[in-house]
């Protein structure tokens, strides 16, 4: 019988599940599901198609947070579609979350165009400065999530270092996705990109992958259960231990899970199978956290 992650010794670090992967559960069912799997917390999607729609955040987020906290879980952050302070309902989302004691939120989505990169980087800076001003009003911190891919600001992470310079890291920082960072810099680049975040490291997302050929013979990153891929999780967590990191730690699931991986509202495999996979990955993560002394 598979041991529940809830039955395993708890590390000091609290782990949140990204609610995208439980989109097939709503309200109290979401809270109960995350608790059954064994999570300490939930990172709530407050974005179009998420658990809370941005235009309804003032009405719907408080009730959902109450349900989650009633299960003994925390809500350390929300994930939003905020790009900058001009994003529709941005202040509603920041203000409502802060009013509930949620000081961190995920944002991002800058993309490069054909213009020279130095010119574009210079243009991003005032947009971040304006967002920082909004966050200062509510004592909130926006965490730019790092993805991999061509044309995406933050893929290398060094560009975030450039555009965030002189902005208070308590107001704007980085949500470091170790798998995407490893895709972008598999040998030493992911180490350098972690170190360059410095005081701007405000959140961490964990998942795993490996390179494999697709049906056309092209090399592509293929998502894998945690511990079965190329992410150097033990080494990474030792680096986290040596840093001053105290932000939200999130677990993501991108490998095939009957649609749960893609945030589908309806899954194509039994819920028990989804939960079992999540428990296995959570147990793996907790074991590595404990070894790292986190």
Q: Model-level pTM?
A: 0.94
Residue 74 phi/psi, 5-degree rounding, is -105, 165
Q: Residue 3: what pLDDT?
A: 44
Q: Residue 12: what pLDDT?
A: 83
Q: Residue 9: what pLDDT?
A: 54
Ordered by where they begin, the domains of the chain are 11-292 (3.20.20.150)
Where are the strands (E) in the chain, listed by range?
15-18, 41-46, 74-80, 104-107, 141-145, 172-177, 201-206, 208-213, 219-224, 249-251
- Give dist(CA 134, CA 111) in Å, integer: 22
Q: Residue 8: what pLDDT?
A: 52
Residue 88 phi/psi, 5-degree rounding, is -55, 135
Report the chain's terminal Cα–Cα distance, integer Å.
28
Q: Residue 1: what pLDDT?
A: 34
DSSP string, 75-129: EEEEEE---STTSTTHHHHHHHHHHTT--EEEE---B--SS-HHHHHHHHHHHHH
Q: Residue 4: what pLDDT?
A: 47
Residue 178 phi/psi, 5-degree rounding, is -65, -30
Q: Are 100 and 65 in contact (CB under 8 A)?
A: yes
Residue 71 phi/psi, 5-degree rounding, is -90, 5
Tell how far CA 174 is from the center of its chain: 10
Successive 10-residue mean pLDDT values, the chain, 294 residues: 47 92 98 98 98 98 98 98 98 98 97 97 97 98 97 96 96 98 96 97 98 94 97 98 95 98 98 98 97 96
Q: Residue 2: what pLDDT?
A: 38
């Amino acid at each position: 019988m598979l041991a529940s992650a809830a039955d395993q010794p708890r590390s000091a670090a609290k782990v949140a599940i990204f609610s995208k992967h439980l989109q097939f559960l709503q309200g109290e069912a979401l809270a109960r599901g995350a608790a059954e799997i064994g999570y300490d917390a939930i990172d709530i999607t407050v974005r179009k198609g998420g658990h809370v729609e941005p235009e309804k955040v003032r009405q719907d987020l408080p009730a959902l947070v109450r349900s989650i906290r009633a299960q003994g879980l925390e809500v350390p952050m929300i994930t939003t579609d905020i790009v900058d302070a001009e994003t529709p309902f941005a202040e509603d989302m920041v203000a409502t979350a802060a009013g509930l004691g949620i000081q961190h939120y995920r944002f991002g989505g800058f993309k490069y165009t054909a213009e020279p990169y130095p010119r574009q980087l210079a243009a991003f800076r005032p947009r971040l400065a304006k967002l920082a001003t909004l966050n200062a009003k509510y004592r909130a911190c926006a965490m730019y999530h790092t993805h991999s891919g061509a044309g995406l600001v933050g893929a290398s992470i060094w560009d975030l270092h450039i555009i965030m310079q002189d902005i208070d890291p308590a107001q704007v920082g980085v949500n470091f996705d170790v798998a995407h960072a490893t895709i972008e810099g598999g040998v030493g680049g992911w180490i350098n990109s972690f170190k360059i975040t410095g005081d701007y490291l405000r959140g961490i997302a964990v998942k795993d992958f490996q390179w494999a050929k697709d049906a056309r013979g092209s090399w592509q990153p293929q998502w894998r259960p945690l511990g079965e891929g190329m992410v150097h999780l033990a080494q990474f967590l030792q680096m986290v231990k040596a840093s001053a990191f105290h932000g939200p730690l999130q677990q993501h699931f991108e490998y095939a899970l009957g649609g749960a991986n893609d945030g589908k509202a309806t899954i194509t495999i039994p819920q028990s199978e989804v939960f079992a996979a999540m428990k296995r990955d959570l147990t793996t993560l907790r074991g590595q956290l404990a070894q790292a002394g986190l």
